[in-house]
Structure 1
Amino acid sequence: MIKTLIFDFGNVFINLDIEGAAKYAFETLEIDSFSEEMTAFNSFYEQGLISTDEFLEFYAENFPKLSKEELIYTWNYMLKHFPKTRLEFIKELKTSSKYKLILLSNTNELHIDSIKESISFFEEFKNCFDAFYLSHEINLRKPNDDIFEFLLKENNLKAEECLFIDDNKDNIETANNLNFKTWHINPETEDVCTLFETKSSLF
């Protein structure tokens, strides 16, 4: 029996303009592609192995002509928009069910700050959840802990009683291996419609 819904923030709730973001970043940084060192550093940051300050310091050293604000905007460009239908869906789910709702975000500090500033209803959306976590911060605090294990311990949950909703197949496979119920969303489709079409099975 499912008691808890765990949403990955990523493409489940935000439309990411990945291609446009890469193009903008390359034009701003005046490069044709990310170097091996940059790709590695980006990965380290996403995994929470380095802090936001270390991440920005790396790019500031490599691109001294850009201010800290310009660098932050470059990385936040991928936040194309946050449709209000996401808020409406979660509010309806919150009021129509008895599920505990958890939001797990692999969105890092740079993106979250931008979201808070640009989306007027972000706090209202966030407050619909019983718990909100940044995987980047979890990794920084507990680099040897699995994020799923952290969520289970932190909220006193059983994996088989949780439904994990994500667009990332690797995350879905990991969750499946830990006995989570899972729901894979195709990031190339309008994900909220997918949720609305199938959420009746939750009630």
Structure 2
Amino acid sequence: MIKTIIFDFGDVFINLDKPATLKKFSELGKLPSTEKITALNELYEVGKISTKDFIGKIQHFFPNATAQQIIDAWNAILIDFPEFRLEFLQHLSSSRKYKLILLSNTNELHINWIKENVSFYEEFKSCFDAFYLSHEIQLRKPEVEVFNFILRKHQLSAHETLFIDDTKENTNAAASLGIHTWNNNPQREDITELFTLKSSLF
């Protein structure tokens, strides 16, 4: 029986346009290798470099771009957060049937954009028993340690825990520890269908 549900954020609650950032960067100049941007992103997502340093390093690739153009391009991945998903989460939270945890690979620029552009962000956050952002805890998916951290901290049993994420690499890591998973496809599935599509778990 599931007692705890761990949710991803992007493409579970907030809609993403994952190619948008590279597209916007390409408008600022010649793109570096995606490996270089990915490496910087991974450092930034676990808080190993500051926002100021991150912007500065990106500006090395696009020397004619302003800091604001870099920020806008970086945040282009973020689209919108449909309110019906908040309503689903609020109903789930008020039922008190499950411990609810958010676990997101989220950097400071992205969460600041969300705070500024999602009017109900604080209501959303208050639905969770715990709210973990990678840049704050300095751990990111798909590292197995981030799941061990949550299991230990909240004294959870893996076989009583469900993890939902749109990235297969992340759900594979959780599954390796015995956690139940739903690798949701945001093009075909919605978090509000959880208890219909995954009824066998509940």
Q: Counterpart of 2:19 in 1: which secondary structure?
A: helix
Equivalent pair of 2:46/2:107 in contact (CA under 8 Å): no
Hey, what does 2:90 align to over in structure 1?
91
Equivalent pair of 1:2/1:163 in contact (CA under 8 Å): yes
The count of aligned residue pairs is 200
CA distance in 2, matches of 1:21, 1:36: 14
CA distance in 1, matches of 2:17, 2:189: 13
1:56-104 Cα distance to aligned partner (Å, 9 max, x none): 2212333343332322121111111111111011011112342010011
Unaligned runs of at least 5 residues, structure 2: none
1:10-159 aligned at under 5 Å gives the runs: 10-27=10-27, 29-32=28-31, 34=33, 36-46=35-45, 48-139=47-138, 146-159=145-158
Mark the CA change 1:177 to 1:37 in structure 2 (over 3 Å): closer, same or farther. Answer: closer
TM-score (norm 1): 0.85
CA distance in 2, matches of 1:38, 1:167: 21
Question: How big is the alpha-carbon RMSD for the aligned residues of Structure 1 and Structure 2?
Answer: 2.6
Name the structure with the higher helix share. Answer: 1
Equivalent pair of 1:165/1:182 in contact (CA under 8 Å): yes
Given the alignment of the two structures, is residue 181 of structure 1 paired with residue 180 of structure 2, yes or no? yes
Mark the CA change 1:103 to 1:124 in structure 2 (over 3 Å): closer, same or farther. Answer: same
TM-score (norm 2): 0.85
Hey, what does 2:8 align to over in structure 1?
8
Query: Taking every aligned residue pair, what percent have the same amino acid on both sides?
Result: 54
Mark the CA change 1:34 to 1:148 in structure 2 (over 3 Å): closer, same or farther. Answer: same
Q: Counterpart of 1:146 in 2: which secondary structure?
A: helix
CA distance in 1, matches of 2:31, 2:59: 18
Mark the CA change 1:73 to 1:196 in structure 2 (over 3 Å): closer, same or farther. Answer: farther
Equivalent pair of 1:56/1:71 in contact (CA under 8 Å): yes
1:164-183 Cα distance to aligned partner (Å, 9 max, x none): 11111111111111011112
Q: Cα offset for 1:5? A: 0.6
